[in-house]
Every structure is written in structure tokens, then in C-alpha cells.
A and B are shown apart, each in its own frame.
Chain A
């Protein structure tokens, strides 16, 4: 028995085992150590899998040696390998940060539970990404969702409970829709294995149930990824959750949901003709644009920075979905590369806001006035990430915007180019609300003696800020992987 063979299983099993272990240990330091180790191992495994896929192509792993389509299959292709690295990488960075960050936010005796839930959430997200089985996706989705409800509810503010409850309701509706969609597919094809379903769909005579499945899946997944106008749960959840949770969820949960959408659209429905019968592309275009403009506009008028950047997330998800609309390799590349770039940028922002919250006791614009003097590193980091949201050259966001514009030009749609750019001007407006408050106003007298947060928080956040700049100059890793994944999805090679 060779351990390297079982990497796909270990990818999920390692964090899964870490969760009950923390409950048994009950000591927060031990729990932290266990989950930290698990997330770093998971990251290492993801990198190994990614290298392996890069060398020798798609990996198929049969759980319990039951061959697919009867058994559950784990499949790692270029797209899922990329997502695994992204999600586990974020977890590996956020966890060291969380230790100091939750100290003020979560009562000491509950802290080990935070690590339990974090491990479970990571398990779920990695599971969704790696599995090749439709029902298994649903199972892991529930694992990640339930644990993230708990994580959000751990927030210090009492409104965190309401936010969590809101997310619970919306998330459950989404999950129900997804399971109905999967059920319909099973009904029509008799299979739960994604590749198998894709193969059988072309032989299905009656199209209506398949269309219904597509519709249910689209709505369900859109709820999870917070596509406008199904985003209402997101601003509250991100605002009231503990900082480490906001950072991790903003970078991973919605992004994995986008991955699921890509998976179903291109690897399952891609080969069949259903897209000709529903105006899916036009709908995506409309919702993406509406999200980009509406959410950015709302963001401009926020006074709480966490909420401001949460609305910015909704807008950025618009960009991600816009790439889908084109249905071309370049468009999909834009989607996937922005997925990664935005995940890194937004996670960094929420981590930095966590530092601010600890020092200032809040993140409202009025409270953090003059932060540029008191926390120069943190506010510089926030400015850099803000520039990335705008898409200024030299930041990761620029790369995404470039590819997205390129996709629009290939499509010959100049008006779309201008709309994309116009909405990035809205980003200038909301980012500059922070800049003016931070640098052009005098500090409040009651916050006069604040200073930078601890290094254990600042360093992981700085790591992501540096990554934001790095990927703005060297896009070979992100853009390269994204374009390979995109051409794999488009060419329809069975996954």
C-alpha cells in the first residue's frame, strides 16, 4: 500500500479526523495545534495533488475500491486541483491568525469548538471540490454549511445569531434546491457519478425534467455563492462573524460554490443541448451586471467597513459570473482567475479588518479615523487590497480585469467593456471612503493610544497582501492554471 496513492482520500480525511480529536482534547491550545497541523497537511497534500495532475493528468480515486459509477469517485483534475490548493492554502494562512484573533471574540471555554467547526468546514469545502459524485457534493455542502452557521454564530455581537439564522434559512433553501436538482438528474439518468451523468444525458429523451434539474441547481447554487439578488445573507454574515471566519468564508465558501456551478454547467450539462433551450447566458449576464452595479453602489454608502467590503464581495461575484456569460475559454479563464485573485484579496482585507477591530474596538468609518498614523502597516495593507479590488495595475485584481476585458473584446461587445470599467470606478469610490477616513482625518481622542495588532495576526495577513501584489506581477501560476482549467472545461473532456 502506497500512501501517495491515497492522497485524494487523505485530503478530506485528515481535516475530518482533526475535528473529533479537538472535542476529545478540549484544550484550546491542543485543539489549535491539531487543526493547524491538519490544515497544513491538507495544504501540502493539495500541492502534491496539483503537481501530480500537472504532470500526469486527471487522478481518479475509487473510495473503498468500489469502481465508479457504483462507488463514490474522487476526481482531481486541473480545476479541482487549483481549487484545493486555494481553499487549503487560505485555511493554512487563516488558522495561525485565528488564534490571537478569536481571543477577544469567543469565550475561552468555547474556543476549542471554533477549531472543531473550522476543521469541519474545511473538510466540507475540500470534499465538495474533490468529489466526483453528485450526492456526495450535497453531503459535503451540508457539512461545510452547518459548520459555517456555527462559526458565524460564534461572533461576539448578538446580531451574529440573527445573521447565522438568516444564513441558515437561505442556505437550507439552497441546499434543498440542489438536492432536488440532483434527484431529478438521478431520476433521468440513474446515476450519481458526474461523469457518468454527463455521458447519459445525451441519450435522455424527455428534456423537461433535465431542464428542471438545471433550474433547481442554478438557483440553489446561486444562493450559496450569493449571486445578486440572492445575496441578502452575505453582508450580515460577514459583518457579524468573528474576523477569522469572515476572512476564511469570504475567500473560500462562495468560491467553492462557484466551482460547483462550473462543475455542473460544464462537466455535467456541457455536452447536452439544454443550454439552447433556456436563456441561461443572458440571465447570468443580467444578474452579474445588476450585482456589479447595485452592490457596489450600496457599498459606497456603508459606514461599517466589514459590511462595506461584504457588499464589495457581492459585486465581485458579479465579475466572476460575468466571465461565465461569455462561454469562451477566455471568459472562463477570467472567472477562474478572478476567483483566486479575489479570494486572496478579500481574505486579506477581512484579516486586516480583524486587526483593526481588536485595536479600535470596531470597524466603523467614524471610529477608525486617522488609522493611517496609528496602524500604518495595517492601513497600507488595506489600501493595497483596495487597489486590487479596483483593478489597479500591479495588483492581482488587474490581471482579472484584463482577462475579463479581453473576453468581452473577443466577443465584440464594447459596451460591456465600458460597463465593467464603470463598475470598477464605483470600487474607487468605496475604497476611497476608507482612504480619506484613514489618512485625511484626525484620530478620535478616545482611540488615541491604539497601535498595530500582534505579529501573529499581522504576519499572516501581510502574507496575503504580498500575494496580492505578487500575483499582479507574476500571473503565470494563477492565470496559467486558470486558462488550463478553462480550456479543459470548454473542450468537454470528460472530467
Chain B
């Protein structure tokens, strides 16, 4: 197969998997087998593309025209490659975890769950490899819609309400802001293709460009810039595997990924730097980082705390991209991978605690580290990565962001990054402390670890988080290719 066909395979494999899963609804073991096999095959497709991309190739394929001059097209560049790699790789681990979680909790409608999950991955691949903004938008909307049944999986009143916020905010921002931005881009530039130096250079006044940038940044609601972040905590009504892969990796990363794509390939770093219109974006992202951390600090519900931590961490990526310095962009790209690994570990741990101990609040976790050492050990590693301490992946990305900010003399950004590190420590370390150093409550039920597949999954991602610190070669190579260094 040629590289172009691998692209199509990456999008079609999960879809084919979804069809098979739907057909096998009566045979759960076979059905879960298909999920696992599909995820492995998907990773193989992505890895075979990765080898080409690392060699400097840019596999691309154009399918057909939807509107005059607007085609469904794919074009794999380093950033998209990294995103696809992270999502596909973690899907395998997450599937393992899902199987443990869904069975241990005896969830209903499991077939629907796995079908939607596979389709969500197809949409994610489409976003990662989109060759133009139009294709990206198509898959972006598809991802919103296909994750809705996952968010509302429980079908309760709370799920309905969460689903409304989720859908309303994500569809609302994309329809109200992203769509007009897209049409306007096409109207001005005559294309929406992603190009090395952007496609808007010299075609717009600085003021109009600032407006368009705002439309894009707030239109990409999945990046959860304040004030459009509420959907993410709302999405926490979903089963934990959904929060883990989709609302720590695929969906939110699709957001910041799109932000970086727009800044680099639609506007162009140089064009934006010349126009000098990104200061407000740095400010908004900085505000989101700090404000979300403060909310996280005050959340007793563990998943909610993780969700606000995600809101905050996403804005690191936006902030780093908005600084328009090559080093900080490398940091932004690395952070997409680093945060994904760390946060999925944290969610896995939260789900394991819920399944084994039926606890959802931080205040209930006293001494739980003694009963669930693997889970809480992994949690500790994930927390280190969020704070940005070695030996976890978060340190590497934060290092690049910080050096970038300093190189560009963006002192506000520097102080936001440093200050929020303290805040991160402030809401993650107490959890670790409680788990390991406080005595359990009297009369606490004796329980052990969660089911084995879940423990394997969360250990794997924790190891991955550490490995990425010691061996950041692949993502770093991709990020450097991307930042043109």
C-alpha cells in the first residue's frame, strides 16, 4: 500500500470496526475482541504513516469536491501525525480499560458505546489528517455529534442536562463562530488549504485579521478557552473511559490541535507576528490557565477537578502557540502528547477508584493509596506530569514553553506558567498526600485494586508518561519538523 492509501485506511478502519461491533452485539467477547483488533490495526496504519513522515514525506490525498473549490482532502504533516499517533496509541490502552470498566460496572447499551467510540476515533483521524480547514471542520462536527451519545450514556436527568450543555456549547461555538470564520477565509483567500506560511498573508487588514482570529479561537470550542469551557466539566457525566480518552485526549486535543493548525497553517506565524494581534489571545489563555486552576483547587469532586485541570492545561497549548516563538510552538506540540498521557492516567485512576471503592470525592480518599498502590502510584506520576516536574513528560513540554516565552520576552506568559505550576501543585499534591500519608477513615470497606485490565491500562500510561520524559525523540522530531527547525 502507498502512503495515501494508509491515510484512507486510518479513517476507514475504525468505521469498519464500528460496523463489525454493531453486528456482533449478541457476542460480547467477540465484540470486544473486534474493538481491540481494530485499535491495533489503526495503530499499525498510523505507524506506517509515521515512518514516512519522519523521513520528511508529506503523504496527501484529495478525494472529491463538495463545493466548488472545496474538497475533502487529507494531508499528513508532523503535527497531525503526532496527534493521530497519540490518539491511536491510547485507544488500544483505553479499549482495554473500557472492557474492564464497562463489565465491572455492568453498564447498559455497551454495543452502542463501542460503536460510538470507534466512530469517534474515525473522526479524530479525519481531524488529525485533514488537508484543509473545510475537511477539518467536517470531522470536527462529526466528533461533536458522535460523542454526544457517549456523554449521555447513562440516560439520566443529569446526563440529559450535561448533554445539553455539551452539545449546545460545542455546536453553538462552531456554528456561530467557526463556520463564519471558515466561509470568510474561503471568501478572502479562495482556499482553505493548510499551507506552510498560512494563506491569509497580505489579504486582510490587521483589524479584520484580529476579528477573524477571535472567531477561530472562540469558534474552536473544543479548546475550552474561557468563557466557552463549561462543556468540559459538563461532559464528566459520561462513563470514565469516555472522560479518559475523549475528554482528556481525542476531543480536547482536537480543539487545541485545530488552534495550532489555524495559527500556523491558516494565518501563518510570520503574518500574525507582523500584525501583532495575538496579545489578547495570550491574555485570555493566561486567564483561563489561572482561573481554571483556581476552580480545580476548590473542587472536591475528583473528576471535576481533573476536568478543570484539563481546561487549564489546554490553554497552555493555546498560550504557547499564541506566543509565536518557534521554541514555544515546539512546547505546544509536545504538550499535546505529554498532557494526553498524563491526563488519561489520572482519569484511569479516578475510574478505578470509582469502580473498586465507589468514591468520587477527593475528601474520601484518605489512605486509599495503601489499598490501591498501583492505581495511586500511577496517579502520582500523572500528577507530577501535570505540575511539570521530572521525571514526567509534562516537564519537557513546559520547559520548551518557558524557554520560548523567555526568548520572546513575554514576561506575562512566563509568570502565568510559573504561577500556575504552583497552583497545579496545590490541587494535585494534596490528593497524593491524602492517599498515601493519611490514615484511612474508620469503618472503611476493605477493597483491593480495580479489575486487572484497568490496572494494566493505567500502569501502561503511567509508564508511558515517564518514558516520554526520558525518550521524547519521536514527538520532538515531529515538533521540530513542524516548527521548521
Are A and B a genuine interacting pair, yes or no?
yes
Q: A394-B138, A406-B187, A417-B180 in contact; A428/B64 too (CB < 8 A)? A: no
Selected from A421, A425, A439, the residue in CB contact (under 8 A) with B180 is: A421
A405 touches B152 (CB 8 A): no
**What is the bound-complex CA distance between A428 and B155, given in angstroms?**
19
Can you list 8 pairs linking A and B with CB atoms under 8 Å apart? A394-B142, A401-B179, A410-B187, A421-B176, A422-B176, A428-B168, A428-B175, A474-B66
A409 touches B160 (CB 8 A): no
Query: Total A-B residue pairs with C-beta atoms closer than 8 Å?
Result: 72
**What is the bound-complex CA distance between A393 and B141, given in angstroms?**
7
A473 close to chain B: CB less than 8 A: yes
Residues from chain B with a CB closer than 8 A to the CB of A428 are 167-168, 171-172, 175
**What is the bound-complex CA distance between A428 and B64, given in angstroms?**
28
A432 touches B164 (CB 8 A): yes
Tell which of B152, B175, B184 has the most Cβ of chain A within 10 Å.
B175
A383-433 residues at the B interface, CB under 8 angstroms:
387, 390-394, 399, 401-402, 405-406, 409-410, 414, 417-418, 421-422, 424-425, 428, 432
A476 close to chain B: CB less than 8 A: yes
B152-170 residues at the A interface, CB under 8 angstroms:
152, 155, 159-160, 163-164, 167-168
B67 touches A399 (CB 8 A): yes
A402 touches B67 (CB 8 A): yes
Q: A421-B176, A421-B180, A474-B66 in contact; A440/B152 too (CB < 8 A)? A: yes
Closest 3 CB pairs of A and B: A393-B138, A405-B183, A440-B155
Q: A417-B180, A440-B152, A479-B67 in contact; A409/B187 too (CB < 8 A)? A: yes
> Which B residues are within 8 Å of any A CB, using their own CB?
64-68, 72, 137-138, 141-142, 145, 149, 152, 155, 159-160, 163-164, 167-168, 171-172, 175-176, 179-180, 183-184, 187
**What is the bound-complex CA distance between A422 and B66, given in angstroms?**
24
A297 close to chain B: CB less than 8 A: no
A476 touches B175 (CB 8 A): no
Selected from A390, A418, A476, the residue in CB contact (under 8 A) with B65 is: A476
**What is the bound-complex CA distance between A387 and B146, given in angstroms?**
12
Residues from chain A with a CB closer than 8 A to the CB of B149 are 439
**What is the bound-complex CA distance between A390 and B179, given in angstroms?**
13
Secondary structure of the B side of the interface? helix
**What is the bound-complex CA distance between A439 and B149, given in angstroms?**
9
Residue of chain B at shortest CB distance from A394: B138
Q: A439-B149, A440-B159 in contact; A406/B183 too (CB < 8 A)? A: yes
Residues from chain A with a CB closer than 8 A to the CB of B179 are 401, 405, 421
Interface string of A471-482 (1 = CB under 8 A from B): 011111001000
B183 touches A421 (CB 8 A): no
**What is the bound-complex CA distance between A393 and B72, given in angstroms?**
12
Residues from chain A with a CB closer than 8 A to the CB of B66 are 399, 472-475
B183 touches A402 (CB 8 A): yes
**What is the bound-complex CA distance between A409 and B138, given in angstroms?**
21
A305-359 residues at the B interface, CB under 8 angstroms:
none
A436 close to chain B: CB less than 8 A: yes
Residue of chain A at shortest CB distance from B177: A421
Given contact pairs A390-B175, A417-B183, a sample of 10 additional A-B residue pairs in the complex whose CB atoms are under 8 Å apart: A393-B137, A393-B142, A394-B142, A399-B67, A418-B180, A421-B179, A424-B175, A439-B149, A440-B163, A476-B65
Question: Nearest chain B CB to A154's CB is how many angstroms away?
Answer: 38
A440 touches B160 (CB 8 A): yes
A425 touches B155 (CB 8 A): no
Residue of chain B at shortest CB distance from A392: B141
Residues from chain B with a CB closer than 8 A to the CB of A405 are 179-180, 183
**What is the bound-complex CA distance between A422 and B168, given in angstroms?**
12
**What is the bound-complex CA distance between A390 and B64, given in angstroms?**
24
Residues from chain B with a CB closer than 8 A to the CB of A406 are 183, 187
Residues from chain B with a CB closer than 8 A to the CB of A472 are 66
**What is the bound-complex CA distance between A236 and B377, given in angstroms?**
65
Residues from chain B with a CB closer than 8 A to the CB of A387 are 145
**What is the bound-complex CA distance between A387 and B145, given in angstroms?**
10
Interface string of A170-181 (1 = CB under 8 A from B): 000000000000
Residue of chain A at shortest CB distance from B153: A440
**What is the bound-complex CA distance between A442 and B154, given in angstroms?**
12
**What is the bound-complex CA distance between A417 and B65, given in angstroms?**
24
A425 touches B164 (CB 8 A): no
Question: Nearest chain B CB to A401's CB is how many angstroms away?
Answer: 8
Residue of chain A at shortest CB distance from B168: A428
